[in-house]
Structure 1
């Protein structure tokens, strides 16, 4: 993979010799000299196919926030929501382009090492901390779904009260699921092997989407169901402020809850910690090939998010809840199967999200150590124990998700990739005031503004008691 500068016609100035050498030494396109071993990243030859890489990255993008997107659409309107969703998708693709460009310049495919290259040890620590914060929040949201949904599903199947036996307690179930399903998958050595489970997870979410579309045409207008009671409740909790109280879709609307919409969507598109590990294991790696993986994955998730939000909103209108499945009848057999599919999908996503955390910790504490199975297993165990304790002890972490969506998400999507690009790409190759670097500066500034505004509105809503934040 080579970066081409048409202005320089592949001729680098003297000050960019190091840049050129790094470029040519990173997965060179020409064969090695006779008798020399081919140069490979970390002595690991990627064997994951293009399709499996798309499955892995799509699964990393797709989060539990898909259940709250219809609620977000209710507070922005159909057209405004889709426009915002498209902007976030395009910006996410551009930020991946910046990451891949930086990786190609310095021959590094680890997010933490890019931070070290840009700012030394401090940069490495900051990047590792942001990745851990974001992914621990995502893992917690998945386990919270298991904690809340699995007892209901099992209780329905067994025709028992979900608050009955020990095997229907949410806290017990997340421990059982973590030990029997999540831990064995998290102990796999390479992320590429999870492509099969990622494909199954995406299939489950596709079934969820098809069911939401089907239910839209099966159910009549439900927004007017017990409308008086709902409006009375809305007047107390203020979740429906600015919404219509009939089966009429709004194309554009603004209310106090809209301040959470962009953080929800930004959180839903964060996959950047997984991009470089997936790039490492991609077969026949190149920047163009990995960018294609990212574009296909983001495009697929944009379509899935948009369709799910639209048909979910058009089913319930102003009565849609933060977690859309709660609005359906629990005894509906199709919805019961959908709940099972969602549970399976989020369960299989947890190991994919755990990989970048473990990689960040290894880069931070054991950067020069060879692979060790005891360390590999110990980190996975410690992470799962900590996340389980968090989910069991904290009754609700909606506001924590709001903070994570307003801090780690813009850091991973906007701020860090732009700073890496400005610091890593030599000024001899791209001057500071060249158009690509001006774009990167504007991109990073947008991320800072997004963080400040989101946190400001969030603190204001907390002060007025209007905090309602769906999870990722």
Structure 2
């Protein structure tokens, strides 16, 4: 029968008809559930390997289907402040150092390298997977991007709960030095008082909650704080501290040469930090006013 069909030229026609009927039947239902629904599909119509976003959430431009090493647009100015904000841990150094069993500088360096290395690895993996999932549609809050593209995915909810737990446990590390700084600036000569202690705590938490509720996009907080406070903590203040300490010390000749190079590096970091903070704040302010 197969030989006769091939010889008569009816094999190709019959197979095409059979394939079309099978595909139409299979595409319509498999049992009672559709196996393909283009309207409700999570995959982008333009790119077969990326998630699509519900319009008009961010479908204001065509979705890119490939990665770019460098992207220059209106969001680029937020990149560097966000990275500086992400790696700021200077305010927690002293409390952590005080809790170390050995209390040595070598132990503190090990803690710092381990913490920064693990943070960099996690940030890099999250950003890489987020970018290759959405490309130019990735938003400032990656978890919200996943939530908008696939609201029913339980894994996204689990990750958001984990991030919430991480924020709850991290807040005391940043709240402690902030409360100490406010207490030292405004009440330097006053003894400890629970009323003042709890009042400063309530005021700081109220300020945080107010910012979270009223600021529409988290990148605005990361950008402003990263360009001002984080830039000062990473580049400006450490350089100034090192310059001030070295000016008061008398060192031998060879050590002084080494310290001179370090001083020059400190000056470079100082200048870079000032330029970075002023330029980034200026660009962000001009973009908001325009």
Please report the TM-score for the alignment, with normalisation by the length of structure 2: 0.71
CA offsets 1:72-96 (integer angstroms, 9 cap, x no match): xxxxxxxxxxxxxxxxxxxxxxxxx
Shift of the alpha carbon at 1:446? Answer: 1.3
Q: What secondary structure sits across from 2:75 in the alignment?
A: helix
State the match for 2:41 in structure 1: none
In 1, distance between residues paired with 2:145 and 2:69? 22
The match for 1:456 is: 282
Distance 1:308 1:221 in 2: 17
Once the two structures are superposed, residues 4-39 of structure 1 have per-residue CA deviations (whole angstroms, 9 ceiling, x without a partner) of xxxxxxxxxxxxxxxxxxxxxxxxxxxxxxxxxxxx
Instruction: Measure the CA separation in 2 of the matches of 1:231 and 1:391.
Output: 22
**2:127 matched residue in structure 1:** 309
- Residue-pair matches, total: 235
Partner of 1:129: none
Shift of the 320–400 alpha-carbon distance from structure 1 to 2, 3 Å rule, reads: closer
Distance 1:226 1:359, change over 3 A: closer
Of 223, 226, 230, the match for 1:405? 226
Task: Select the residue among 270, 295, 305 that pairs with 2:88.
Answer: 270
1:428 to 246, 250, 253: 250
Query: Any conservation in 2 of the 1:406–1:455 contact (CA below 8 Å)?
Result: yes
Q: How far has the Cα of 1:264 moved from its partner? A: 0.8
Q: Deviations over 1:339-376 (max 9, x none)?
A: 21122221222222111111212332444556554543
Correspondence 1:383 to 2:204: yes
Alignment correspondent of 2:216: 396
Could you tell me how far apart the structure 2 residues matched to 1:459 and 1:312 are? 28
Report the CA distance shift for 1:360/1:268 in structure 2 as closer, same or farther (over 3 A).
same
Contiguous gaps of at least 5 residues in structure 1: 1-219, 235-243, 465-472
Cα distance in structure 2, aligned partners of 1:347 and 1:380: 15
Q: CA separation in 1, counterparts of 2:203 and 2:58?
A: 46
Preserved CA contact (<8 Å) 2:139 2:145: yes
Q: 1:386 to 1:230 in 2, by over 3 A?
A: closer
Alignment-derived partner of residue 222 in structure 1: 50
Higher relative contact order structure (alpha carbons within 8 Å, sequence separation ≥ 6): 1
Alignment of 1:290 onto 2:117: no
The answer as to whether partners of 1:263 and 1:402 remain within 8 angstroms in 2 is yes
Number of the residue aligned with 2:268: 442
Tell me, yes or no, if structure 1 residue 233 matches structure 2 residue 60.
Answer: yes
Q: Which residue matches 1:197?
A: none
**Residue 455 of structure 1: CA displacement?**
2.0
- Residue 296 (structure 1) shift: 1.0
State the 1:324 CA deviation: 1.3
User: Is 2:152 the counterpart of 1:335?
Assistant: no
Matched residue, 2:166: 345
**Distance in 1 (alpha carbons) for counterparts of 2:194 and 2:59:** 58
8 Å CA contact 2:50–2:132 kept in 1: the answer is: no
Alpha-carbon distance in structure 1 between the residues aligned to 2:118 and 2:107? 17
Matches within 5 A, 1:62-141: none
Residues 414 and 443, structure 1, Cα contact 8 Å, conserved in 2 = yes
Aligned Cα root-mean-square deviation (Å): 2.9
Residues 437 and 303 of structure 1, relative CA distance in 2, 3 Å threshold: same
Alpha-carbon distance between aligned partners in 2 of 1:391 and 1:253, rounded to the nearest angstrom: 28
Gaps of 5+ in 2: 1-47
Contact 1:221–1:316 (Cα < 8 Å) also in 2: no
Q: Quick one: distance in 2 between partners of 1:230 and 1:391?
A: 21
Separation in 2 of the partners of 1:228 and 1:395? 23
